[in-house]
Structure 1
Amino acid sequence: MTEKRKPQQWAPGQSGNPAGRPKGAGKIGEWRAALAEHVPDIMKKLVEQAKAGDPVAARLILERALPAVKPVEQPVSLDLPEGSLTDQGRALLTSVASGVLSPGQGAQLMTALGSLSKIAEIDELAARIAALEKHHERTG
């Protein structure tokens, strides 16, 4: 036999102990508070050791104290041909192949071109529906 579960005593998102232990009140919070006043001296010592050639100190500084450097692509001016979206897509591929655009930039622009084609398709469908409705009003 299986026992029935009791219904929840609290609503979702409501704490069963709202006056419970505050954040940072545990051992880790105590350790952080005890170390907080020493952090500037520790950082100064780490920098001295890194400058003296200590690879572990340098790694700690670079991995923990400084945010990771993210690659940034430089903007590129690109003139796409007038005409169809297919022609513009071919021009993008040519730009990637010739090194004018990075593959990442080319992929992003191709995605944007694909989105533009969907928008153009919706516009064309809306115009066709409007024309059909207008024709139906005249004949109906």
Structure 2
Amino acid sequence: MTERNKNGTFKKGKSGNKAGRIAGSGVTGELRKAILDKSPELLQMVIDKALEGGDVTAAMALLNKVMPSLKAANEPIQFTLDASKGLSGTGEQIVQSIANGSVPLDSGTQLLTSLASLAKLQEMDELTRRIEALEKNK
């Protein structure tokens, strides 16, 4: 038998039912399965209703439970960077690429954020080397 706390409740992470509830066995799980089983028909109904100009609110509500919303994705970009100019020079090149339109603003922002993270990592490496050198010279 599972041990309980002094107040009679089960200990954290322990319960009397070791197998636990079966996933999808509740009303919500049954509803999801029913919607999933009918999703092709619902999709066709939405398409038909949309083309005929009818009301699709109820069908869309059901489909939203089955089909996740599409998320925006960035396309890969290619451009040339001269890494020999150091971090600040690389940052200037990225800003210039954003300004002349060869790099989209959102991608450029991500590149600059990554560059800032790289600068912090390099700073940490340099500080670690200096501390190790100081400790070695004691």
Q: TM-score, normalised by structure 1?
A: 0.63
Rounded Cα–Cα distance in structure 1 between residues aligned with 2:124 and 2:37? 63
Counterpart for residue 95 of structure 1: 97
DSSP-derived class of the 2:7 partner: coil
Residue type of the partner of 1:102? P
Rounded Cα–Cα distance in structure 1 between residues aligned with 2:19 and 2:121? 54
Larger Rg: 1
Structure 1 unmatched runs, 5+ = 1-5
Residue type of the partner of 1:83? K
Do the aligned residues in 2 keep the contact of 1:96 with 1:103 (CA within 8 Å)? yes
Whether 1:49 and 2:56 are equivalent positions in the alignment is no
DSSP-derived class of the 1:14 partner: coil
Greater CA deviation, 118-127 or 56-65?
56-65
**Residues 90 and 7 (structure 1), Cα distance of their counterparts in 2 relative to 1, 3 Å cut:** same
Q: Deviations over 1:82-102 (max 9, x none)?
A: 222111111111111222222
Whether 1:76 and 2:77 are equivalent positions in the alignment is yes
Whether 1:14 and 2:14 are equivalent positions in the alignment is yes
Counterpart for residue 3 of structure 1: none
Residue type of the partner of 1:103? L
Rounded Cα–Cα distance in structure 1 between residues aligned with 2:109 and 2:86? 18
Percent identity between the aligned chains?
Answer: 34
Aligned-pair Cα RMSD in Å: 3.9
Structure 2 unmatched runs, 5+ = 1-5
**Residues 7 and 84 (structure 1), Cα distance of their counterparts in 2 relative to 1, 3 Å cut:** same
Q: How many residues align?
A: 129
Residue type of the partner of 2:127? L
Residue type of the partner of 1:116? L
DSSP-derived class of the 2:112 partner: helix
Q: Which has the higher contact order (CA 8 A, sep 6+)?
A: 2
